[in-house]
Structure 1
Amino acid sequence: MLFRSWAQTADARWPDVARVPDHVGVAHLVVTRHALVRRVLADPATYRPDNALDAVTPIPVSALRVLAGHRFRLPPTLANNGGASHPAIRAIVADALHPTRVAAQRPWLTGLVQERVGRIDATLDAGGPVDLHAELAADLPLLVLARLVELPDAPVGAVKEFARAALELFWAPLDVGRQQALAAEVGRFHRVLREFAATGGGLAGSLRAAGHPPDVLVGALFFLLVAGQETTSQFLTLLLHRLAGEPAVLAGLRAGTVTVADVVEEGLRLEPPIVTWRRVAAVDTTLGGTAVPAGTSIVLWLARAGRDPAIVDAPDEFRPGQRGSRRHLAFGAGTHRCVGDQLARMEAAVVVAETAPLLDRVTVLREPWCPDNLTFRMPDAFVVRRR
């Protein structure tokens, strides 16, 4: 289950809490109920975030040497930081992604999406297939994030390759050869981040001015490039694919009886790009009647929590606006809740509003494929043709 959790979300056989070994024999406590998942996220003293970025496949010495050769480090910064420095770092990042600054990007993003949809529409009208992931969703969040936080001047393709390599290296089941290749990819781009952290403006400049050391700057940039844009591009692809199979929702959007905002929230509940997140028990405790010894790895099944019948009327149906739709945990909860939630919502709202008419008239030629991964779905091509 651990590496196909995105495909088993609707499986009714799972208990509230279950002990599950992973591919290397390490036992994890998998938590499935909304109330329990939220309790863990809201209690960072009992359930610490220290293991959030640990590699689920232990990295061998050969790959560690590759990373060391690039001076790669991931100190506690954002997602994996349960220390005293977290609030100050988070506040600076949150200011860079403030809702007012995010809203200011909406007209520009709308124009860009309209331009792309126009080209896609022309290709479809001519009878050709279109990959909506590559042609629309893949790079949009990166382009917006670059404007907000002044990301390093690197080719979009290089940044995307780095982000996906990082998601695979730290969260996928891997063999040694693949780990070495991914370590080289991640290490090379880590050098770019390190150089930018020393001189860059925007977010990097704000963190430097606040006195944070270079490793913190690099760690913050690393996490933003992975979680701040790659997950949103994944969500856009997943949501577009889901909507293509929801004619009643598309009809509601067309008629004005369904709102774009409600579609986005229901999409986050049913098709989150991040399906699990991890914590580690700091002390001996209990969870859902299960003993949890200190040091236990806890896997919080965010995607299944969003389908908990205790919070939502129709757990497996796409019903925008239904009771509980907005109570999903796609952005986490508590002190480590995603600081880019409003950015992701804005981007998804623009894409849904501009592409819904197009989706109403397409046939899916190739559904997105998602590789084995503990936490991230990482969909690839989504190819459609006009009906």
Structure 2
Amino acid sequence: MLFRSWEQAPTATRGTGAGGGVDRWPGVARVADHVGVEHLLVTRHALVRRVLTEAETYRPDNALDAVTPMPVAALRTLAAHRFRLPPTLANNGGASHPGIRALVADALHPTRVAAQRDWLAALVRRRVAELDATLTTGAPVDLHAGLAADLPLLVLARLVELPDAPVAAVKDFARAALELFWAPLDTDRQQALAAEVGRFHRVLREFAATGGGLAASLRAAGHPPDVVVGALFFLLVAGQETTSQFLTLLMHRLTGEPAVLAGLRDGSVAVADVVEEGLRLEPPIVTWRRVAAVDTTLGGTAVPAGTSIVLWLARAGRDPAMVDSPDEFRPGQRGSRRHLAFGAGAHRCVGDQLARMEAATVVAEAAPLLAGVRVLRPPRYPDNLTFRMPDAFLVGR
């Protein structure tokens, strides 16, 4: 259920809160994952937001717990590469979090982000022209690989002075990390992923010791090497991979929304509204996790301390209590901007303005191209608790 049914509302089983019984839209439901571990699945917008904002009651300590428990062999492989991820950003509920977050926020300050817009628009324009020329010959194109996959990484590299590693290697590392920690896996696959993640962790460790930009700022603030590595890890995984996923998800959705594309062309639909509606309906992060720090209740359901909580961010964006037309792509509708694609509270995504700028640029430049294509193969998504991870998006004229 936790992997293949993200497009379906669950049927409450027990512990659904006030009213009890069976409800197509339970606020809280108990579900088991592929290894039999029980989680509290939270779907209602108000309840999801409550968990995200009540930091003392619901902690982020389990954010990086592997969904599939790692075997000894994989753990030894990670240890051999000195792989460690101490509390830094998404997994940090301690006193060091505000200071680390402030340094990352400064690197991704809206003014610095805005300064990248013209450069990015020119790059996207060139790529769209190349894709259009290929389509004109009658050949198909992959909009994920040809347009979306590496754009966020290229922008991020300019903002935070990322290590000088080949783009393909960084992308492979990021996807490997998303799979290793958040996917249902067999032991052979875990071992292979552990080796790949461990090797790149060594690159990050070397850069953390000598690199400029954000790495230098973290060192200057007195943070130990493991914290610098952890911050770089989160940026490379969450700071760019999720945005490239969203760009592909949004482009795919727009190919099925001709009225929206027409509105973009004639100016009756705002690009910013399209991005927000895309974040509401097609977020790249479908869930996030918290753990109850104390005994509490949520939506009328008892939540003992230590309970694993899965927040269904994507379903919260379609809560009828929050938006007029939950399943329709209607840019600018009431509630469209209240989505939780970037989370909420102390751990709200620090790169939200960067992601919005990148998505708005791609929508503005690629809308005419999207209006003139047909989908040959939509993106496919591997089983994953949290991330969509589209592979390819093939279109033809």
Q: TM-score, structure 2 length as denominator? A: 0.96
Structure 1, unaligned runs of 5 or more: none
Tell me the matched-pair count.
386
Give the deviation of 1:3 after TM superposition: 1.3
Give the deviation of 1:384 after TM superposition: 0.3
What is the identity, as a one-letter code, of the residue corresponding to 1:140? L
The separation in 2 between residues aligned to 1:170 and 1:183, in whole angstroms, is 10
Identity of aligned residues (%): 86
The separation in 2 between residues aligned to 1:26 and 1:289, in whole angstroms, is 22
Per the alignment, residue 177 of structure 2 pairs with: 166
Give the deviation of 1:5 after TM superposition: 4.7
Q: Is residue 83 from structure 1 mapped to residue 94 from structure 2 by the alignment?
A: yes
Per the alignment, residue 121 of structure 1 pairs with: 132
What is the identity, as a one-letter code, of the residue corresponding to 2:314? A
What is the identity, as a one-letter code, of the residue corresponding to 1:112? L
Per the alignment, residue 178 of structure 1 pairs with: 189
Q: What is the RMSD of the two structures over their aligned residues, measured on CA atoms? A: 1.0
Structure 2, unaligned runs of 5 or more: 12-22
Give the deviation of 1:126 after TM superposition: 1.1
The separation in 2 between residues aligned to 1:25 and 1:305, in whole angstroms, is 25
Give the deviation of 1:10 after TM superposition: 9.1
User: Of the candidates 35, 45, 50, which is equivalent to residue 24 of structure 1?
Assistant: 35
Aligned positions of 1:1-387 closer than 5 A:
1-8=1-8, 13-386=24-397
The separation in 2 between residues aligned to 1:59 and 1:93, in whole angstroms, is 30
| Mapped contact 1:133–1:381 kept (Cα < 8 A) | yes
The separation in 1 between residues aligned to 2:359 and 2:10, in whole angstroms, is 24
Give the deviation of 1:8 after TM superposition: 2.5
The separation in 2 between residues aligned to 1:69 and 1:233, in whole angstroms, is 31
| Mapped contact 1:4–1:374 kept (Cα < 8 A) | no
| Mapped contact 2:9–2:24 kept (Cα < 8 A) | no
The separation in 1 between residues aligned to 2:41 and 2:199, in whole angstroms, is 34
What is the identity, as a one-letter code, of the residue corresponding to 2:119? W
| Mapped contact 1:10–1:304 kept (Cα < 8 A) | no
Q: TM-score, structure 1 length as denominator? A: 0.99
CA deviations 1:339-385 (Å, max 9, x no partner) are 00000000000000000001111010000000000000000100000
The separation in 1 between residues aligned to 2:225 and 2:7, in whole angstroms, is 39
What is the identity, as a one-letter code, of the residue corresponding to 1:229? Q
What is the identity, as a one-letter code, of the residue corresponding to 1:160? K
The separation in 2 between residues aligned to 1:4 and 1:32, in whole angstroms, is 16
What is the identity, as a one-letter code, of the residue corresponding to 2:101? R
SS of the residue corresponding to residue 6 of structure 2 reads helix
The separation in 2 between residues aligned to 1:372 and 1:15, in whole angstroms, is 23
